[in-house]
Structures are given as structure tokens and as C-alpha cells.
Structure 1
Amino acid sequence: MSDRSPRRVSALVSRLRGWSLLRWRVLGLLSAMLVIVALPYLVTRASTEDALEADTWVTHSAEVKSLAYQIAFEIRDSESAMYRMLDGDNDPAVRDRVEFGASDTPLLFRRLHEMSADNKAQQPAIDALGVVVNGRLALMKQALLRYAKGDRAGADAALRDSGTLFKLDELIRAIVDNEDAVLRQRRANAQMRSFRNDVVLAITALAQALLLGIIVLVSEWQIGRRIRAEARENRAIQRALMILQAVREPIALLDEQMRTLLVNTAFSELYGLPQREKRPLKLLQDVGEGAWSDSGLLQRLHDVLLHDRELWDYEIKQRTVDGMERHVLVNARRLEQDDGEAPVLLLTVSDITARALVEHQVKELNRQLEGKVEQISDANRELEAFSYSVSHDLRAPLRHIAGFAGKLERHLGEGVDETARHYLDVIRDASKRMAELIDELLVFSRLGRGALRLQTVDMQTLADEARALAESEAAGRRIVWKIAPLPVVVGDENMLRTVWQNLLGNAVKYTGQREVARITVEVRRGSDGGYTFSVADNGVGFDMEYADKLFGVFQRLHKASEFPGHGIGLANVRRIIARHGGRVWAEAAPDQGATFYFYLPPADQTGRGAN
């Protein structure tokens, strides 16, 4: 024990030094990452905030000038309407213009005063504008009173005094000029802040380049150090190689990371390692194609290294590279190295028996199959959850797109040109189509999750309802229907209603190019008691080469410009029929119509389909 204690102390000191160096390296790396990532983020964020602030002030100034111009317009419009009244125009709309200007102008002025409260240089002009506005409005009311009393000359004099005593144009021009001057100053300040941010970004880029250079140098130094350590380990392996090769019992020497420093010929033959040539270090659990992957054994071997214990006759079943399943006894003990390096593990293996392989292979295959089935089930559940989540999460940005498109159109008002109006129409149409696609995807997702509500369902009633709905959407067309008497089945009424609406709706849609559309619905009962329904039409049909795409989500065989739709209706049909335990298929030829079939099993088998 006295010889072993100094070695343990030396090993402990060496390990503490290694941890200390590792800690400082990690701290340095984290600091470098903080400088490289955080500083550009902060500077970019400041630049973005400055840009947003500048845009806000531009909008604010535009609104102030707009209010000033609108006040002038309201006053002049009211006075113009008053002059028309004096000229004998008794149209009530003219009088409404006079009264609207008198009531709306004070509200506009109050809003202008509130928005200019932050600009002290603007206040004198705003106050003067308030005097002029009140004076003009007062004379306007006086003119109205005189007009009501029949004194047209007095009303005309009051209006003329309004324009003479209370000048409006110069005040409006002064307010606009003041707002432009403030805006120019704010823009100059924003440019100065942007220049400062650019300087900080340049300094940050230099710091990043310097830190990256330091990291590269340190990494190269660490790689060199590791290469030298591996060279020392290889020399130790060469010294022990002759002794190890002479023993016929499989022996391996492992380092503290459970890597094979040395193995003898017996170990190489048993576990498929190269014998004579130089070998790279290899983890024990990677040796022998999984022969050493037992976690319990690996934990015990780690305990032997860490706590200086010994492992005696640990029995384990292994499959070696020769394809045989063996029962072996594993023994292990820790060995201290004379040069003060970390201890190593001496591992010996004794082959005590051989086991038959058939039973083990069957159990292993069954276990793997169960795992695959579980993985497929999990994947299907995750896919359903993903589809449902994506469909819901897409609604929020879609509402933003449609909402802000409307706000933009209202903001532009009458000033919007034809190109901008076209762009807004495209945005609205695309948003509407996207919303419809999301709704269809939600329906498709719900069809896969909701429980079947089995009950007796009158298929004749569902077909008639679907026929009426399809005809209402094809007003003016000539459609000849031939619907055979349909039975009562057991199923989910709402889901089967969706089936009929999709199939009959498609039949009406794809016969739209026919002068007379002919749609036939038939049913036949099979020997097992199930029913096979068919919907035939004389429409455009399709090429059977692409029939496998018919029932896929968002799969279409015709252009949307020819036949509108989203390509999910038949996918819903297939899912619904599959959930009822049936199946769906189609037969067609180009320009010769199509026939869609779906089979529903007997009542005692309904609902046994895929979920």
C-alpha cells in the first residue's frame, strides 16, 4: 500500500491540473463566443431601433402636415358651400357641407394641437392657427344666422370679413415649414447614430477576427499535444506486445476511456481485430461488432478503474465475429503505470460454453420488429400532431398579412395607383386561398383523430342532399341525374355526408365543359354483406397512369385555372372510407369520364379501418 499511495497522489494532482486547464479553456471559449455573437447583435438591434424611430417620426410629421392641410380644406370647403347657398343653391347636401366643416374642424385642430405638443417651436404657429380657425368659424356661424334671417348681404359680408381678418395660408405654410425643419434635424441625428453604429460594427469585426485567430492557434496547440500523448501510449503498447501475444487466453489492455491500448492474438481472432499491423485506438464497446455493448459490464469495468476494485468471473453472453454465440467469463483488475500516467485496465476473457443461435436470433428479430412497429406508431401520431399544429400556427401570420394589406389600402386611400391596387388584390386572393387550404388541412387532420360515431345512416338522404348542394353551385347548367335506390348502412353520418359531397361535387365540376352533364349513382351488395357504391360521370376523365395521385393530399391531375379546388377532397374520402374499414378506387380514361367506387364492409366490421 505504501508504493501505491504516492502514485495515487501524483495521479490526483495531474488530474486536478487537467481540470483546471480545461476550465480556463472553456471560460475563454465562452467569452470569445459572447464577444462574437452578443456585440453584433446589440449593435444591429440599436441600428434597427434607430431606423424604426426615424420611420415613426417621418410618419408623425406627415400626419401633422396632413392635419394642417385638412383643416384648411375643411374651412375653405365650408365657406365655398356657404357661397353656393348665397347664390341660391338650396341643395341639403350643400348645407351639410357647411355644418360638417363647422363641427369637424375643431376636432381636427384639437388633434393637431395634441400631436404638436412635443415641438415647442411649433406651438406659436399652432396657437395662432387656433385663433384664425375660431375666428373663421365664428364668422361662418354669423353668416349662417344672417342667411337664416334672410340677410344675404350681411352673410356675404361676414364671409368676406372672414377671409380678410383671419389669414390662413401663411399659418399653414409656417406649420408645414416648421415640421419639415424638425424632421430634417431628426434625420440628421439618425444619420449620426447610424454612423456611430457602423464604427462600432467595424471594431467588433476586427475583434472577431482577432479572437478567431487566437482560437485557431490554441486548437492547433491542443492537437499537437494530443498527438504527442498518443505517441507515448504507442511506445508502451510495443513494450508489452511480446508478452501478451504469448498467452492463448484473450487479453486486452484498456486505458481510462475504455480504449484498446493492447490486445493479444487470441483476443484479435475472437473479436475480429487486426493482429500484426499497427492498430488505431478503439473503444471497447465498438470491438467485436457489439460483443462489448452490455451496459452492466461496462459500468463494472469503469468501477474497477475508478475505485481500484477487481472483477472476478463475470458471466455474460457474447456474439463474436465468427457468428457464434458464446458464454464467457470476464476478469478485470486495475494496473498502475510506472511513468505516473493514468492507470490502465487488464481484461481477460475465458470461453466456457457455446450456445445455439436459433432461439436467440428469433427473440432478437421479434424485439426489433416490435421496436419498428412502435416507431411507426409514434411517427404516425407525431405526423398527425404536426399537421394539426402547423394548420393552426399558420393562421396567425395569415391574419397579419390580410389585416395589414387592408390597413395599407386604407392608409393609401384614393392615392393608390392601379399597380398597387393589383398587388393588394393579389395579396388578398393569396391570403384567402391559403386560409381555405388551412381549413381543408384541418378537416383532413380531424378526420384522422376524431372517434367514429357509428349509427344507422340513410345513404339515399345523404346523396340527395349532396346532389342539391352541387346543383346550387352549378346554376344554369343542364345536368341529367340517375341515382339508384340506396340502402341504409352503419357508419358516421357526418363523415359519410362528406364523402357524398366530395364525389358528387367533383362529378359536377369535371363535367363543366359538357353541354349536357350525365351523372349516375349505383350500388351493389357483395356476398359478404358489404356495399360497393359508384359515382360515374361523362366529364374530362383522367389518365389511369396517374391514378395513384388522386387520393393524395393537395394532389391534382388538372390545372386549377381549368377546375378550381385544393386537391384534398379525395384524400378526405379515402381517409373516411378507410376508417370505416373499406376502400376507395377509380377508373377513367381521358375525355371519356370517370367512375369512383367506394366499398363499405358489413355492419359488424365497420370501423375496423386504419386511424
Structure 2
Amino acid sequence: MSEHTSGDPSVSDAAALLERYGIVPGVPSGPLVAQCRLARVATGAAAVAVHLDGLAEPVASDGDPAQAPAVASAGLLDEDGGVLGRLVAYADRPVDAGLLEVAAGGVAALLEAEVARDRIFDLEEAVARSDDQLAQASGQIVHDLNNPLAAIAMCLEIAREQVPDGDLLASLLDRAAGSAARMKRMTVALNDYGQRITQGSTDLAVEVPALLREFEPLLDEVVEVVEPLPVVAMSPGDVRTVLTALWENATKFRDDEVDLEVVVDAEQVGEAWRVRVTDNGRGIGQAELERIFAPTVRLDKRIPGMGLGLATVRRIVAAAGGRVGAEQAHGGGTRIWFEVPAAGPSGHAGAGRQVSPD
């Protein structure tokens, strides 16, 4: 039996709850305290605290619960409907029970999101598995993240509707909504990373302009397409995932001093085609050009993300029998290329400049 448990089942259950949600007794959890602060300001309570079942003391609070009686509480329910504990409001007068319920939903969703986020660290182990196992593992993680994220977003939206613009609480709610949106983008990246690779061929001369139109007006004046473009042995869905990741990467790491420019072109390399995406952004150091394709690598921690975009590109291209690479572009910026087999004779396959393989 661990040092956190005893013969009392309630103590064991409480210890399991703390371990599941990564809560250390006596060490305040910043996100939980922030949720308590939002609930306190929204309801007008003197204090709000998170109580988990089996624990005498709250695991997080804002304000001093000892200074006022408990006047209202709302259950903290996990995604299966189980009761984790209660969000309790302390005040000398009645508080808005409806807003406390909304806040409790946000706290419960935050706890569940923490559990799901911990599972992301298992992803590197999943990389070594087969494609089917990887898709299954990442799909489950995305599912576990999406449910609490949806609940968080809904609770924040409801709470925000009750607060006028310019109020301090409005600013806090907007900031929390922004954090939830960033986590949603992370789940999209994770889903892309674990997507099943499909067989097929794609005419880039058709697919690239069509994809660019979906990004209007964000990239239509930024990306220059140099024709001719070939037909390659990758499915349209995989091509879209790869190009989207490369364009988003160029956008994230743009040079703020100059207007962003991205060039897409292709050249024949033996029996394959090398598609190149060149930008005029910040550039990447020579020592980092290979490391950027590894999962979870982020060269600039100030830019949100999971570091899976270029890892996704490499995985998809490798599954198509190709390879990827990066190099410093002339005059600054970065050129990232992916090389995949030609799809066979076509009106585009013989066009372009032929070069010798590296």
C-alpha cells in the first residue's frame, strides 16, 4: 500500500483522486484557483472553494472560506456522471446558484482536461507502433480532450454572456476562452498526426489552387505557385494535410519586419518529384534543420502548438514512400521540401526542370 493510503477506503479513494488529477495537497493549482476566482467574481461570493470527496480541506480556493458561511454548492461531475466533489460558495448573503453551476462545470471540465493532457506524453511511445495502433491511440486522446474542451467552451460562453464588456471578469473570461481555443487547435494537430494514411494520387496543379482558395484571404496574396506542378502518388487528403502544415509553419515563423512571401514549386528528381515550400521568414539554424521533424520539437516556446506539424509531414510522406528535408533559403528564410514518387505518366509528369538525385 502506498504512503498516501491507509486502511480507510475513503482515504484511499481521496488519494486516488489527487493522483488522477495531479493535485499535490498544500500546493495551490493555478488553473483551479483561477476558476475559483472567476466563480467568486461572477456569483458575488466572499470566497469559492473546490472540495473533492474524501478530503477535509479544499484543494483550491479564492477568498477566505473561514470568513463567511457556505451558502451554495454545485456538484463536480466527471464525463461519466460520477461525483468528484463540490464547488462551494461562501457569503453573507445568497449568491447566483445558476452561475455557480456553470462555474462547477468549468472546474470539472478543467480536471478532466488535465487527465487527457497527461496522456499526450504517451504519444512518443505510440510513434514506435504500427500506423493502426498510432491512429487508435491518438484518436482516443483527441476524444478525451474534445469532451472537456467542449464543456469548458460552453461554460465560458454562458458566463461571458452574463458579464458586460469592460468588466474585469469579462477580460478573464476572454482570456480563458482564448486558452480553450488554443487547446482545440492542439487537438486538431494531434488528430492530423495520427490520421490514417490512404493510398491515391493527386494532381497538384488542381489541388494546390483549390486549397489556397480555402485560405482566402489569409494566403491568397502570400503564396506564389510556380507552374508546372506534377501528379504525385499521395492521396488528396494527405497532400492537403502536408501543405497546410507547411503553410501554417511559414506563417507562424514569419519575420515581422517584412511582408511574408511563400513560394511553392516542384522539380523532378529521378523517378520522384520534389515539392518545395520556400518562405522569407526568420530562418532555422543549420543545426536544427533535421531536428524540426521530430515529434514535439518546438524551436520557439512562445509560439503555441505541440510541435507535431512537421512530424506529421514526415510521417505522411514516409508512408507514401518519400522523404522530407529542410534547408536555409537564399537571402534568409527556410525551404522545406517533400519528395514523393510520381503517380505515372500524365500531362504534368514530364514538365518542369529535371535534376539529379541528392
User: TM-score category by the smaller chain?
Assistant: 0.5 to 0.7
Flag the structure with higher helix content.
1
Structure 1 counterpart of 2:199: 453
Structure 2 counterpart of 1:326: none
Q: Which has the larger radius of gyration?
A: 1
Structure 1 counterpart of 2:144: 393
Aligned partner of residue 326 in structure 2, secondary structure: strand
Structure 2 counterpart of 1:552: 294
| RMSD between aligned residues | 4.3
AA partner of residue 199 (structure 2): R
AA partner of residue 530 (structure 1): A
Shift of 1:548: 2.6
Aligned partner of residue 264 in structure 2, secondary structure: strand
Correspondence list, 1:203-602, <5 A: 382-409=133-160, 413=163, 418-446=167-195, 449-450=196-197, 452-455=198-201, 457-470=202-215, 472-474=217-219, 479=222, 481=224, 483-507=226-250, 510-511=253-254, 513=256, 515=258, 517-527=260-270, 529-558=271-300, 560=302, 567-588=307-328, 592-602=332-342
AA partner of residue 200 (structure 2): L
Encode CA deviations 1:106-165: one digit per residue, 9 max, x unaligned: xxxxxxxxxxxxxxxxxxxxxxxxxxxxxxxxxxxxxxxxxxxxxxxxxxxxxxxxxxxx
Shift of 1:491: 2.4
Question: TM-score with structure 1 length normalisation?
Answer: 0.35
AA partner of residue 36 (structure 1): G
In 2, Cα distance between equivalents of 1:378 and 1:42: 34
AA partner of residue 496 (structure 1): V
**Percentage identity across paired residues of the two chains:** 25
Is residue 260–residue 281 contact of structure 2 (8 Å, CA) maintained in 1?
yes
Shift of 1:393: 0.8
Counterparts in 2 of 1:461 and 1:35: CA distance versus 1, 3 Å: closer
Is residue 186–residue 305 contact of structure 2 (8 Å, CA) maintained in 1?
no
Encode CA deviations 1:194-232: one digit per residue, 9 max, x unaligned: xxxxxxxxxxxxxxxxxxxxxxxxxxxxxxxxxxxxxxx
Is residue 278–residue 329 contact of structure 2 (8 Å, CA) maintained in 1?
no
Counterparts in 2 of 1:36 and 1:490: CA distance versus 1, 3 Å: closer
Shift of 1:473: 0.8
Encode CA deviations 1:329-349: one digit per residue, 9 max, x unaligned: xxxxxxxxxxxxxxxxxxxxx
Shift of 1:585: 0.4
Q: 2:70 aligned with 1:38, yes or no?
A: no
In 2, Cα distance between equivalents of 1:480 and 1:391: 31
AA partner of residue 312 (structure 2): N
Counterparts in 2 of 1:542 and 1:524: CA distance versus 1, 3 Å: same
Aligned partner of residue 453 in structure 1, secondary structure: coil
In 2, Cα distance between equivalents of 1:487 and 1:417: 54
Question: TM-score with structure 2 length normalisation?
Answer: 0.56
Question: Where in structure 1 are there 5+ consecutive unaligned residues?
Answer: 1-28, 66-374, 605-611
Question: Where in structure 2 are there 5+ consecutive unaligned residues?
Answer: 15-52, 58-64, 74-88, 98-125, 345-358
Shift of 1:63: 6.0
Comparing both chains, which one has the higher relative contact order based on Cα–Cα distances under 8 Å and sequence gaps of 6 or more? Answer: 2
Encode CA deviations 1:431-456: one digit per residue, 9 max, x unaligned: 1111111122112111xx35x1314x
In 2, Cα distance between equivalents of 1:64 and 1:498: 46
Counterparts in 2 of 1:36 and 1:442: CA distance versus 1, 3 Å: same
In 2, Cα distance between equivalents of 1:458 and 1:61: 68
In 2, Cα distance between equivalents of 1:438 and 1:376: 17
